[in-house]
Amino acid sequence: MTDYDAIILGAGAAGLMCAARAGQRGLKVLVLERAETPGKKILISGGGRCNFTNLGAGPANYISANPHFAKSALARYTARDFLDLVESHDIAWHEKTLGQLFCDGSAKQIVAMLLAECERARESGGEVTLRCGEEVAEVAADGGYTVRTQAGSYHAANLVIATGGPSIPKMGATGFAYELARQFGLKLVEPRPALVPLTLGGDDVLFREISGVAAPVTATAGKQAFHEAALFTHRGLSGPVILQVSSYWKPGDPVTVDFLPDRSEGWLLAAKRATPRGTLRGLLREALPHRLADILAERIGIASELGNAPDKALREAEARLARWSFNPNGSEGYAKAEVTSGGIATGELSSQTMATKKHPGLYAIGEAVDVTGWLGGYNFQWAWASGVAAGDALGE
């Protein structure tokens, strides 16, 4: 059996960041990863360019049963801190919309940077050992933590759960973090797919006919609204704005869409006065993709020229276009979810160190914890921040 100061389960964003920080503090760290290579989710993120953080990342951009939990870690390791690390490795980057930062080159650069940071541990007398292709068979608490894989057994005073959630199972994701939580008596907030396309049935099936059509809209679920592109698919609704609201959507609730969010109240009556021989279909075609405009006009049912349409009917049409109600019958599940909402309850953890309160030396970080970010680099920032919080605390 080999002894370490800390064993980190999972070589994703949070696990590698935690390993690098702990190793650079002089600790002997083992990272165990069941996949054959580290950072698989990092590599596919952002279309292969890794949306590695968001300049606006703050507690308001995260969902948790305790919305205050993430404040400490996010304040102590900010998007600017991670950007400084990226720039210190000469990785070129660019900002897209809404503060989203991407590599100019490849997501491989972020993985290489994290591995290089792990190697830097040697400069401080520490050591980070990465063992991929090792699936954990058993974890036991015995005055420390013993982890057994098919390749051998390892022991450490500290154990970090950084195995993420079950989203994107084709990348090897599992619910193993939750199994460990139950083993150690840690409460869970029920996990569910988040940042996920929604499926449509019933009367909404008609919209599947315009699969591939996208438009900028404002979408709302619960009390949360976002303004980005919606995409109609052969199964229902997707696109950035739908992924965003999916994290707030609850089965049985509607998702409302404002198809013309830039129009002020009364625009349709004003159009009637300005162009009485115009049609609703024609007006919508000026503002929206034609196939979408046609289906909306057909559902509203005003076929006459605007001048012949009653004001009441136009006001009702305007209101419907501003709050068009879709009734999703589900989501596309973990297979298409970018992240998992829920997880290890934050009440079980220290917000300062990510250590569990019940078991000395046991930590949980990243997606395994009940902290879920918006689309756009926020989940990576939580991975970096929670990894740093634990990495800086291990062995204290």
Q: Nearest CA to 385 among 85, 34, 29? A: 85
Report d(CA 230, CA 294) in Å as an integer.
Answer: 17
pLDDT digits (tens, 9 = 90+) for 244-261: 999 999 999 999 999 999
For 134-161, the pLDDT digits (tens) are: 999 999 999 999 999 999 999 999 999 9
CB 392 within 8 A of CB 24: no
CA 49 – CA 343 distance, rounded (Å): 27
Report the alpha-carbon distance of residue 330 to residue 209 in Å, rounded.
18
Instruction: Report whether 29 contacts 23 (CB < 8 A).
Output: yes
Mention every residue, 6+ apart, whose C-beta is less than 8 A from residue 201: 329
Q: What is the mean pLDDT of residues 50-66?
A: 97
- Those residues whose C-beta lies under 8 Å from the C-beta of residue 347, and which sit 6 or more positions away, are 65, 66, 187
Put simply, whether the predicted model's pTM sits higher than 0.85 gets the answer yes
Would you state the pLDDT for residue 172? 85
pLDDT in tens, 258-271: 999 999 999 999 99
Residue 211 burial (CB count, 10 A): 14
Mean pLDDT across the chain, nearest whole number? 97
Reported residue count of the chain is: 396
Mean pLDDT confidence for 309-325:
97
Average pLDDT of 39-62? Answer: 96
Reported as a pLDDT band with limits 50, 70 and 90, residue 336 is very high
Q: Whole-angstrom Cα distance, residue 367 to residue 373?
A: 9
